[in-house]
Amino acid sequence: MKNRELSEIFDKMADILEFKGDNPFKINAYRKAARVLKDLTEDIEKLAREGKLKDLSGVGSGIAKKIEEYLETGRVSKYEEVKEGVSEGLIELLKIPDLGPKTLALLHKEMNIHNMTELEEALQSEKARALPGMGAKKAENILRGIRLLKESGGRIPLGVALPLVNQVIELMKTKGIVREIFPAGSLRRCRETIGDIDLLATGKDGTRIIEEFTHLPVVTEVLAAGKTKGSVITHGGTQVDLRVVPGESFGAALQYFTGSKAHNVRLREIAKSQGLKINEYGVFRGEERIGGSTEEEVYQILGLPWIPPELREDRGEIDAAMKGSLPSLVELSDIKGDLHVHSDWSDGSATLEELAQEAKKFRYEYLLIADHSIAVRIAGGLSPEELLRQIEKIKKLNTKLKGITLLAGTEVDILSDGSLDFPDEVLEKLDVVVAAVHSGFKQDIHTMTKRILGAIENPLVDIIAHPTGRLIGGREPYAVDLNEIFSRSAATGTALEINAYYERLDLSDLNCREAQKRGAKLVISTDAHQPNQLDWMRLGIAVARRGWLEKGDVLNTLPLERFLNSLKR
Ligand SMILES: [Zn+2]
Ligand SMILES: [Zn+2]
Q: How far is the CA of 263 from the centre of ligand 1 (A)?
A: 35
pTM above 0.95, yes or no: no
Give the residue with greater pLDDT, 98 vs 170: 170
| Domain C-terminal end among 187, 220, 244 | 244
| Residues 303, 380 within the same domain | no
Closest ligand, as measured to the CA of 527: 2
Give percent of the chain above pLDDT 90. 79
Angle at 286 between CA 282 and CA 292, to 5 degrees: 15
| Residues 451, 522 within the same domain | yes
The average pLDDT across 255-279 equals 96
pLDDT digits (tens, 9 = 90+) for 301-342: 999 999 999 999 999 999 999 999 999 999 999 999 999 999
Q: Could you tell me the residue range of the domain that residue 43 belongs to?
A: 3-152
The average pLDDT across 106-132 equals 91
Whether residue 564 has pLDDT greater than 90 = yes
Closest ligand, as measured to the CA of 340: 2
Q: What is the pLDDT of residue 520?
A: 97
Q: Which of 456, 436, 462, 459 is nearest to 564 (CA)?
A: 462
Q: How far is the CA of 348 from the centre of ligand 2 (A)?
A: 9
Q: How far is the CA of 438 from the centre of ligand 1 (A)?
A: 6
**CATH code where residue 31 lies:** 1.10.150.110
Q: How far is the CA of 503 from the centre of ligand 1 (A)?
A: 12
| Residues 425, 529 within the same domain | yes
Closest ligand, as measured to the CA of 467: 1
The average pLDDT across 30-51 equals 88
Q: d(Cα 50, Cα 56) in Å, to the nearest integer?
A: 13
Sign of CA dihedral 75, 80, 83, 89: positive
The average pLDDT across 186-209 equals 95
Q: How far is the CA of 269 from the centre of ligand 2 (A)?
A: 46
| Residues 257, 211 within the same domain | no
**CATH code where residue 301 lies:** 3.30.210.10
| Residues 371, 490 within the same domain | yes
Q: How far is the CA of 464 from the centre of ligand 2 (A)?
A: 11
Q: What is the DSSP string of 551-563?
A: GGGBGGGS-HHHH
Contact 198, 233 (CB under 8 A): no
Q: How far is the CA of 109 from the centre of ligand 2 (A)?
A: 39
Q: How far is the CA of 341 from the centre of ligand 2 (A)?
A: 7
Q: What is the pLDDT of residue 1?
A: 67
| Residues 553, 415 within the same domain | yes
The per-residue b/e assignment along 1-33, b for 16 or more CB within 10 angstroms, e otherwise, is: bbbbbbbbbbbbbbbbbbbeeeeeeebebbbbb
With cut-offs at 50, 70 and 90, classify the pLDDT of residue 149. Answer: confident
| Residues 65, 11 within the same domain | yes
| Residues 86, 212 within the same domain | no
Closest ligand, as measured to the CA of 528: 2
Q: d(Cα 368, Cα 355) in Å, to the nearest integer?
A: 10
Count of domains for the chain: 4
Q: What is the DSSP string of 286-354?
A: TTEEEE-SSHHHHHHHTT-----GGGTTTSSHHHHHHHT----B--GGG--EEEEE--TTTT-SS-HHH
| Residues 358, 474 within the same domain | yes
Q: How far is the CA of 499 from the centre of ligand 1 (A)?
A: 9
Q: What is the pLDDT of residue 15?
A: 93
Give percent of the chain above pLDDT 70. 99
pLDDT digits (tens, 9 = 90+) for 211-253: 999 999 889 889 999 999 999 988 777 899 999 999 999 999 9
Q: How far is the CA of 332 from the centre of ligand 2 (A)?
A: 21
Whether residue 148 has pLDDT greater than 90 = no
| Cα-only R_g, the chain | 25
Residue 160: left (phi > 0), alpha (psi -120 to 50), or beta? alpha
Angle at 413 between CA 487 and CA 451, to 5 degrees: 40
Q: d(Cα 554, Cα 569) in Å, to the nearest integer?
A: 17
| Domain C-terminal end among 120, 152, 184 | 152
Q: How far is the CA of 38 from the centre of ligand 1 (A)?
A: 18
Counting every residue, how long is the chain? Answer: 569
Q: What is the pLDDT of residue 58?
A: 84
Q: d(Cα 528, Cα 535) in Å, to the nearest integer?
A: 9
Q: How far is the CA of 324 from the centre of ligand 2 (A)?
A: 39
**CATH code where residue 220 lies:** 3.30.460.10
| Residues 144, 281 within the same domain | no
Q: d(Cα 245, Cα 252) in Å, to the nearest integer?
A: 10
Contact 390, 396 (CB under 8 A): no
Sign of CA dihedral 295, 301, 305, 309: negative
pLDDT digits (tens, 9 = 90+) for 177-192: 999 999 999 999 999 9
The average pLDDT across 153-167 equals 88
| Domain C-terminal end among 182, 217, 244 | 244
| Residues 172, 115 within the same domain | no
Q: How far is the CA of 142 from the centre of ligand 1 (A)?
A: 24
| Residues 223, 265 within the same domain | no
Q: How far is the CA of 502 from the centre of ligand 1 (A)?
A: 13
**CATH code where residue 368 lies:** 3.20.20.140
